[in-house]
Chains A and B, each alone.
Chain A
Amino acid sequence: MISSSILSADYKAPGGKMLRVRLTEKNGRIENVKISGDFFLIPEDSLPKLEKMLEDTRLDEKELKLLVDRFFHGTNAQGLGISPDDFVKAILSTKSQ
């Protein structure tokens, strides 16, 4: 039986900014995800790319970390108030909130 569910989490980076994650999960994978918050990320238009890359990724720390790192290296994106690991933790925390 395949079921999809909507998960959400508000995650505050230690000493930093907020990441608010809203995602649809199906069979342990991200169907689609929307990340918002009061962080800084340049270039600003890179965020939709990350959201797109996350589609169909398993909600698993190792897999998410690999993908988020690939995003930051591939786009030269610079976060402020949030680290690549914070994105991973924020997304994972949807499983427990």
Chain B
Amino acid sequence: MVETWRLIDLEYREDPFRNMSVEEAIPRAVGEGAAPNTVRFWHNSNTIVLGCFQSADLEVNFDACKASGTEIVRRFTGGGAVYHDAGNLNYAISLKRGHPLVPGNDLQLVFQRLSEGTIAGLKSLGVNAEFQPINDIQVDGKKVSGAAGSIRWGTTFHHGCILVASDLAILGKVLNVPRVKLADRHVASVQKRVTTIRDELQKEITTRDVRNAIVQGIENVYNVRLEQGQLSKSEAANVKELYDTKYSTSKWNLEQ
């Protein structure tokens, strides 16, 4: 029998703090057995998303953020800072812990396995995408997507962002990239080692096109059916609580 996963397109483009509250409420509910395995797609407009171990003071160019109206929010997973705008598509996969696709406790395997649906979707659009350890999807040596994830709350969780048609010029301004990181990769700037789906295909493409291709990719690669759904009442209540106590606070977002 084909497994059915829930598909959620809930987003608050102008409220990255509420978006991140939804991002946490779903895997919590999945782990408790209160929600089915879930795939979510969403966007932020003009936001830096920090990894949970990063220092806002070290990573963020606050003056540039102020000038461009860029918001700053911290996620609950590790990894590096990313820039989101309407040309960036986010996806998140929450599977009950122990799911046969990712049965163990190996985060590297989670990134690889749960990137495969996305990669299949991108390939169907004509993009030569491949997984690049530790947590990237690359096209001809340039990063087009980064993932992060965790195994907690009884859930195996993977989320990633895909540069479909983002403004890479802003990306280079709002984040401070440490010199040792650039030196290690032998490139001079962030812009030179990232690309977008639009630039790779050399045609206009919407995040909706990419989202639809990834839905197909996920269904095919994992042999599942995605069924459109929404948050339960208890998930929605948890979103509100996470928003009030965590994601709307500068203590969580900036003071770490």
Contact = CB atoms under 8 A, between A and B. Distances in A.
Contact of A42 (B80, B81, B152): B152
A58 interface: no
B133 to A, nearest CB: 9
B107 A78 contact: yes
Bin the interface of chain B by size.
Answer: 20 to 34
B107 A39 contact: no
In order of increasing CB-CB distance, the 7 nearest A-B pairs are A38-B80, A40-B78, A36-B55, A12-B180, A80-B107, A81-B134, A12-B184
Given A38-B81, A47-B53, A78-B107, A20 B58 contact: yes
Interface string B105-120: 1011000000000000
Contacts of B55: 20, 34, 36
Nearest to A34: B55
8 contacts: A12-B178, A20-B55, A36-B53, A36-B256, A40-B79, A44-B152, A47-B53, A78-B105
A10 interface: yes
Interface string A6-50: 000011100011101000000000000011111111111001000
A41 B77 CA distance: 9
Contact of B134 (A18, A44, A80): A80
Contact of B180 (A11, A80, A81): A11
A20 B108 CA distance: 22
B152 A37 contact: no
Given A36-B55, A40-B134, 20 more contacts: A10-B178, A16-B134, A18-B80, A18-B181, A20-B178, A34-B55, A35-B53, A36-B256, A38-B53, A38-B78, A40-B77, A40-B79, A40-B107, A41-B78, A43-B152, A44-B53, A80-B78, A80-B107, A80-B108, A80-B134
Given A47-B53, A81-B134, A38 B180 contact: no
Contacts of A42: 78, 107, 150-152
Contacts, number: 69
A38 B52 contact: no
Interface of A: 10-12, 16-18, 20, 34-44, 47, 78, 80-81
Interface string B172-200: 00000011110010000000000000000
Given A10-B180, A80-B134, A38 B107 contact: no
Interface of B: 51-55, 58, 76-81, 105, 107-108, 134-135, 148-152, 178-181, 184, 256
Contact of A41 (B53, B105, B134, B256): B53
Nearest to B184: A12
A81 B135 CA distance: 9
Nearest to B105: A78
A39 B78 contact: yes
A81 B134 CA distance: 7
A41 B51 CA distance: 11
A37 to B, nearest CB: 6
